[in-house]
Structure 1
Amino acid sequence: MCKHILNAQVSIRSPCCRQWFDCAQCHADAQTHTLKQAMEMTFACKKCKKCFRKDMNEFDESDEYCPHCDNHFVIEAVEPKARLEVEGEDVRKDARMLKDERVKAKEGFSIWEDEGEASRLG
């Protein structure tokens, strides 16, 4: 699973070390050498798990699809974005961060009013 491109549709076999990567940044993170440029690329579709080759010199619009399952693999990349959120436990386990709208505070309550809660005053 690629952490740089969230919607990667294919894995690419690098021509330099013959290993599979989802993107060029994944290759740079895992290897010490630079990625070799090649005009013939080998892809593995993540939908049907079959491999195919494409010649980049003759790449046209019909080559944007997997030849086995017609999965459109040339799409705009979705990259992860930084977000600032409040971290907490699972709400099903610990619901202290949730506000219960059903419980309403008593309005205008004072300690001098006797509402049967005299035992609380001590």
Structure 2
Amino acid sequence: MCKHVLNAQVSIRSPCCRLWFDCAQCHADSQTHTLKQTMEMVFACKKCKKCFRKDMDEFEDSDEYCPHCDNHFVIEAREPKARLEVEGEDVRVDARMLRDERVKRKEELSVWEDEGEANRLG
């Protein structure tokens, strides 16, 4: 599972070390050598689990599909985005993290706010 491209449809066999990776960044993270450039790519479809070769010099629109299962593997990559969330229990189990708009909340005062003339000291 690639952490750089969330919707990777194929794995790519690197020509330098003959290992399988989902993207070039995964190869760079795990290997010490640089990725060798080649025009003949070997892919493994993640849908049907079969391997196939593509010549990138003669790549056409029909080559964007797996020859075995017609899985469209040339799609726009979805990359993970940073999010800031509050971790809690499942809301179906514990809904204390959610605000119920039906309940009227009592307005809270801080120590710096004036409650009125009657509660002043001195």
- Tell me if TM exceeds 0.5: yes
- TM-score w.r.t. length of structure 2: 0.79
Q: Distance in 2 between matches of 1:89 and 1:98?
A: 11
Q: Distance in 2 between matches of 1:7 and 1:52?
A: 19
Q: Distance in 2 between matches of 1:76 and 1:17?
A: 27
Unaligned runs of 5+ in 2: 107-122
Give the length in aligned residue pairs: 106
1:53-92 mapped onto 2 (5 Å cutoff): 53-92=53-92
Q: 1:103 to 1:54 in 2, by over 3 A?
A: same
Secondary structure of the equivalent of 1:57?
helix
Q: Distance in 1 between matches of 2:105 and 2:38?
A: 69
Matched, 1:38 2:35: no
Identity %: 89
Unaligned runs of 5+ in 1: 107-122
Letter in 2 for 1:39: M
- TM-score w.r.t. length of structure 1: 0.79
Q: Distance in 2 between matches of 1:39 and 1:99?
A: 57
Secondary structure of the equivalent of 1:43?
strand
CA deviations on 1:58-89 (whole Å, 9 max, x unpaired) are 11111000000000100111111111222223
Q: Which residue of 2 aligns with 1:110?
A: none
Cα RMSD between the aligned structures?
A: 1.6
Q: Per-residue deviation at 1:90?
A: 2.9
1:102-121 mapped onto 2 (5 Å cutoff): 102-104=102-104
